[in-house]
Amino acid sequence: MCVNDILAQGAEPLFFLDYFACGKLDVGMAQAVIAGVAEACNLAGCALLGGETAEMPGMYPPGEYDLAGFAVGAVERGQMLPRLDRVAEGDLIVGIASSGIHSNGFSLVRKIVEKSSLDFSSPAVGDSSNQTLGEQLLTPTKIYSKFLVPVLRSGHVKAYAHITGGGLLENIPRVLPASFGVVLDALSWKIPKIFSWLQKEGNLSEEEMARTFNCGIGAVLVVQKELAGQVLADIQRHEEAWLIGKVVHCPAGAARVEVNNLLQALQANRVESFHSQPRKAQLRKTRVGVLISGTGTNLEALINSTKKPTSYAQIVLVVSNKAGVEGLKKAERAGIPTKVIDHKQYSSRTEFDSAVDKVLEEFSVELICLAGFMRILSGPFVRKWNGKILNIHPSLLPSFKGANAHKLVLEAGVRITGCTVHFVAEEVDAGAIIFQEAVPVKIGDTEKTLSERVKEAEHRAFPAAMELLASGAVKLGEDGKLQWNSEQHN
């Protein structure tokens, strides 16, 4: 905590001294504690110069001790942080991942555990490891100094805040001019499941969570918008980090930190699965991400399908390349996390797809459904997600590929059309077909009337294909053709 604090001035930690006080010295215990301090100094890149050990009989019961310490760092006077005169509206906020609680809020943590059905020896929550809950809560604080000092020295960072006691709400304003605040989006970073459990068990409000805990963000940087990508890339070589918000003008008396979607993000961790007692076996749900650009009519059909208890799919994220579209509202009403990634902010399709890919990875998406996503995906993205991207086309492929399918169908005079759900390949509308549904072309049909009937078929076909893939009944073979799993398909 000391060396992370020093970074707020832009300083590099030089050395640390400790103070160990007890009633009667237990050499083994003291050696273990000091060894931990020495390991932390090594991680921080600073020296452990020594300290003091004090025995005070009668002050401490056997087995108890006090531990304190301080660090000294150095920074060139011209490089000191924060650079308040340079902070401006529109600067971006880079958030660096925490490892968990980071030694803050433990009075509340202890009270929550005491009232819950778990104890410190219970299995860790939302974790497949062999950790206990106590070990999970005591996950060591991440030390940022070794990789962050060069970033701070680059001159690209205007301010740094260490998220300690007071959480996101109280620490960030300390490094900003009085006339500025920040707006953060909690859906833009990965929140460790322990925070979701604490919020649920303690029935805590969004404000209580943001004021008490770091909620997955151990430190934040204020960076000029044009330099944020470079700073983020430099940090991501060493640690998980995200663009989590921006600096805004803040009128006098207004809240300096606004954290949007925090409760939604915490609930996205599926905290209902945290139980102290074994539960009945449940269907293994495939995590689905849906990409949209507009109204999301097929999205609604997919959502309705996943609500069924027999569904093998769970939509965990909806991404749109356009803000304010109806599809985002449908997702939000269904309690599904949403993310807007504006393609106009990226210089190429590959860069945009890389941003989408990062968000999909953060939400542990396993299957992608394109539901009116009006973007052609780049080759690297398609190759990475080969066999895991579904698209629906309003014709019976391979006939009438591309745009204006309904117009082409009517011009050709065919009597049968329909829709096709297929895997996405690098060539447009050319991937292996999973599911088709036929729709008759009626005399007097217009593009509008035909489109309406095909859309109804899409609402049946797309969920059916998603369930086939999510359940493992079908998959894309190495030869690029559809393969059926006879054990799961009747």
Q: Which residues are catalytic?
A: 393
Residue with tokens 């600073």: 46
Alpha helices in 106-189 (DSSP H): 106-115, 133-137, 145-153, 167-171
Nearest-CA neighbor of 422 among 438, 453, 439, 398?
Answer: 398
Cis check for the bond before 173: say yes or no (omega within 30 of 0): no
Bridge partners, 220 (sequence order):
95, 161
Exposure string over 233-246, b if 16+ CB within 10 A, otherwise e: ebbeeebbbbbbbb
Alpha helices in 335-435 (DSSP H): 349-362, 379-384, 405-412
Sign of CA dihedral 433, 436, 442, 448: negative
Q: How far apart are CA 71 and CA 58, in angstroms?
A: 29
Q: How far apart are CA 141 and CA 143, in angstroms?
A: 6
Burial class of residue 458 (count of CB atoms within 10 Å of its CB; 0-12, 13-18, 19+)? buried
Residue with tokens 């079908």: 474
Burial class of residue 204 (count of CB atoms within 10 Å of its CB; 0-12, 13-18, 19+)? buried
Nearest-CA neighbor of 337 among 303, 311, 286?
Answer: 303
Q: How far apart are CA 114 and CA 251, in angstroms?
A: 41
Q: How far apart are CA 464 and CA 83, in angstroms?
A: 56
Structure tokens at 316: 């965990």
Identify residue 323 by its one-letter amino acid code. A
